Chains A and B, each alone.
Chain A
Amino acid sequence: MVTEKIDQFAATLPAEKRRSVYESTKATHEKRTKVLFDHFPDPNRLRLIAGEIKQHVIENLDTYLPAVEAKLQSHGVIVHWAATAEAANEAVLGIMRARGATKMVKAKTMVSEEIELEPFLKKHGIEALETDLGEFIVQIDHDHPSHIVRPIIHKSRREIATSFEREGLGAYNDDPGTITRRAREFLRQKYLQADVGLTGANFVSAESGRIVLVTNEGNSRFCLAATKCHIALVGIEKILPRDRDLALLLNLLARSATAQQLTVYTEFISGPKAASQPDGPEEMHVIFVDNGRTDVLASECRDILRCIRCGACLNVCPIYRQASGHAYRSVYPGPVGAVLSPLLAGEKFPDKVDLVKASSLCGACNEVCPVNIPIPDLLLRLRDKAKREGAPSCGTPPMGAWALLASQPTAWKAALFGGKVMNYLPLNLLPIPAAQAWLKTRTLPAWRGGEFRRWLKNRTR
């Protein structure tokens, strides 16, 4: 049986890695559930409201985006629009060049991963250093994040200690406190040397033009405190209508992501430093990134644009827990990635189409989603799209003959009777890939086709 790529990846994943991904996602999921249900009488109602707010935004982006642009400009922010990843990278480069800048410090942003900013800048002689501890470790290892919120969920502290030793960050020591302290000492110098600080944005309020950033390490504050220029890379779907909507979304985001009531740092940024303020960036740019989002908006899967990148669907997902994030070969792994990555792939949709099959459609992702994205429905829509567009994936047996059989009762009843031959055949030896894949780890019950119908016909009451 040709099994799906993600299953093959899971089969070769070292047991230790699988265990650590499984245990930490399970623990986070359980804490998330406890915190939400301890703190709110009906967290499900909150998820539905938050989902409606975000859906409202994405369905009215044509009015919200110009409004946000005007608001930001009125605060002295320079707004850029990037239709593609290339345009977003060029915009960043243009800002750096105009300032003669060569050093950037970065807070964690998934959009920068999506547009592959760091390798692009490196090619142009610009150092873009990750300051989130997890992302920093990913960077020094030339690795990729395997989780939206916890990029190094796949790494053990032994591996990290080895990497630190290799990079000249002290003798081998796998104590997490020591690792953190050493990273901090190294990064503090880098903040002071950098010209530009780059962040993402968790939310942008259309009402006030405030950009909202949540972090636990405070690194985004250092990025902005030490540099003269702030660039925020923002997906066009990050807008919220009103400041008061933040009360709901911030409460849900922290609890869903890390089971915290609130992240350690929540920053509200209205623009560059005012004349009356003692410090802060003198120049601020917001780059709104499309990179395929308007195509998603035009599709039947637009609901995925509600996503606030909390990672709760990854944590609860049995497939993610078994396969880990790298199995998805995408910036966005897990259930949200299985929907978003094929959509953002555009013409390369067939390369990522196997991701939409990587689900038993169990619906746990929808149940935990703070914005109630119907992920299983979206996966199903994409499976239908893949079939219609002839995108190959080995996980779909042909269904035409079955449908014919199941819409002709006489043929169906004959097949129920004829199926009894299965009881006399060595199924495990027959060249039927699906049967072999099933029988390798499970038994099959005896075929009793038509027995119920016979009982019903013959019974006397």
Chain B
Amino acid sequence: MLNAERSAVTGPRVQLMATCLCDAFYDDMARATVEVLEHAGCAVEFPEAQTCCGQPAFNGGDWAASRKVVRHAVRTFTGDAPVVVPSGSCAAMMFHGAVLEFEKEPDLPAVESLGRRTWELADFLVNGLGVKAWPGRYDAKIAFHRSCHTRGTGTAAAAVQLLRSIAGVTVVEFGEAEQCCGFGGTFSVAFPKISTAMGTLKLDHVRAAQPDVLVSADMSCLMHMGGLADKAHAPMKTQHLAQVLRDALKNSGLL
């Protein structure tokens, strides 16, 4: 089980960890995260020096390289404000993966301390800030993909709670929800046959529930499933949870 122990949230200040995927591809999702956090009353800071959480090298087995990147993150996210990241995967890297690869390193306490104040977005809103329901309107049937790195954390329950509370949203269930979408970082290119089969199966299950949009707390899963659907000429609308929360506000003139 992942170590999900968190320091209590005391003030409005938060530091945004935008993820390398947003930095490179998904700027709208990072913008949505800022707007959602601000709507929830947060003062969002963006430490300019940030890069990546270190997970690609950690999963690839190059822990020495990964630790270099994690040390950079520790230097970048200073202070005691919560660090909020719109990705269950990057959050788990900070509070679980990094701790694992630093267990014999002298700077383990600093890494653990960053881990304790790092939150995935939905988990932060519901379990950190105590948000019970989300205002606004979003007319859609939503299939929510529970990303693997949120297993054992508060993310999936928090995300579904927020989605269900939005006027107009129906959350639809689909088969084999516990199964991975097949992305897995370098896994997707080193095991292309298996990865594609996993993603296709996931899409089949999602499609059977006939959602209007596929939503997740992790953009990497959506990049994989959306990319597969596009390539197969059967596009599937995907949105990150932050985008749904932001659009719900917009649709009701709250933003």
Which residues does A use to contact B, with CB under 8 Å?
1, 3-4, 6-8, 10-11, 26, 316, 318-319, 322-323, 356-364, 366-367, 372, 374, 377, 380-384, 386-387, 394-400, 402-407, 409, 412, 416, 419, 433-434, 437-438, 440-453, 455-456
Interface class of chain B by DSSP:
helix
Q: Is the CB of B30 within 8 A of A452?
A: yes
Among all A-B residue pairs, the 6 with the closest Cβ atoms: A360-B184, A383-B61, A442-B227, A395-B190, A362-B180, A403-B65
Chain A residues whose C-beta falls within 8 Å of the C-beta of B48 in the assembled complex: 409, 453
Interface residues of B in 1-32 (CB under 8 A from A): 1, 18, 20, 22-27, 30-31
In whole angstroms, what is the CA distance A8 to B186 when docked?
Answer: 16
Chain B residues whose C-beta falls within 8 Å of the C-beta of A433 in the assembled complex: 189
In the complex, residue of chain A having the shortest beta-carbon distance to the beta carbon of B30: A452
Which residues does B use to contact A, with CB under 8 Å?
1, 18, 20, 22-27, 30-31, 34, 46, 48-52, 54, 56-66, 68-69, 71-72, 76, 97, 100-101, 148-149, 151-152, 176, 178-180, 182-199, 223-224, 226-228, 230-231
A sample of 16 cross-chain residue pairs with beta-carbon separation below 8 angstroms, ordered by A number, consists of A3-B192, A360-B183, A361-B148, A364-B151, A366-B151, A384-B61, A384-B101, A387-B61, A403-B57, A406-B72, A437-B189, A449-B23, A450-B23, A452-B23, A455-B27, A456-B31
Chain B residues whose C-beta falls within 8 Å of the C-beta of A402 in the assembled complex: 56-57, 65
Q: Is the CB of B182 within 8 A of A360?
A: yes
In the complex, residue of chain B having the shortest beta-carbon distance to the beta carbon of A320: B194
In whole angstroms, what is the CA distance A11 to B190 when docked?
Answer: 13
Chain A residues whose C-beta falls within 8 Å of the C-beta of B68 in the assembled complex: 403-404, 406-407
Q: Is the CB of A399 within 8 A of B57?
A: yes
Q: Is the CB of B192 within 8 A of A441?
A: yes
Chain B residues whose C-beta falls within 8 Å of the C-beta of A398 in the assembled complex: 62
In whole angstroms, what is the CA distance A403 to B63 when docked?
Answer: 10
Chain A residues whose C-beta falls within 8 Å of the C-beta of B149 in the assembled complex: 363
Chain A residues whose C-beta falls within 8 Å of the C-beta of B184 in the assembled complex: 359-362
Q: State how many angstroms separate the Cβ of B190 from the closest Cβ of chain A.
A: 3
In the complex, residue of chain B having the shortest beta-carbon distance to the beta carbon of A455: B31
Chain B residues whose C-beta falls within 8 Å of the C-beta of A377 in the assembled complex: 100
In whole angstroms, what is the CA distance A404 to B23 when docked?
Answer: 17
In whole angstroms, what is the CA distance A366 to B97 when docked?
Answer: 15
Chain B residues whose C-beta falls within 8 Å of the C-beta of A397 in the assembled complex: 60, 186
Q: Is the CB of A440 within 8 A of B192?
A: yes
Chain B residues whose C-beta falls within 8 Å of the C-beta of A11 in the assembled complex: 193
In the complex, residue of chain A having the shortest beta-carbon distance to the beta carbon of B50: A409
In the complex, residue of chain A having the shortest beta-carbon distance to the beta carbon of B60: A396
Q: State how many angstroms separate the Cβ of B124 from the closest Cβ of chain A.
A: 19
Chain A residues whose C-beta falls within 8 Å of the C-beta of B1 in the assembled complex: 366, 372, 374
In the complex, residue of chain A having the shortest beta-carbon distance to the beta carbon of B197: A322
Chain B residues whose C-beta falls within 8 Å of the C-beta of A4 in the assembled complex: 190-191
In the complex, residue of chain A having the shortest beta-carbon distance to the beta carbon of B52: A406
Q: Is the CB of A453 within 8 A of B192?
A: no
Chain A residues whose C-beta falls within 8 Å of the C-beta of B192 in the assembled complex: 1, 3, 7, 437-438, 440-441
Chain A residues whose C-beta falls within 8 Å of the C-beta of B22 in the assembled complex: 452
Q: State how many angstroms separate the Cβ of A216 from the closest Cβ of chain B.
A: 27
Given the contacts A406-B52, A409-B51, A452-B18, A3 and B193 also touching, CB distance less than 8 Å: yes
Q: State how many angstroms separate the Cβ of A426 from the closest Cβ of chain B.
A: 16
In the complex, residue of chain B having the shortest beta-carbon distance to the beta carbon of A387: B61
CB < 8 Å neighbour of B61 from A396, A400, A434:
A396
Q: Is the CB of A438 within 8 A of B188?
A: yes
Q: Is the CB of A403 within 8 A of B24?
A: no
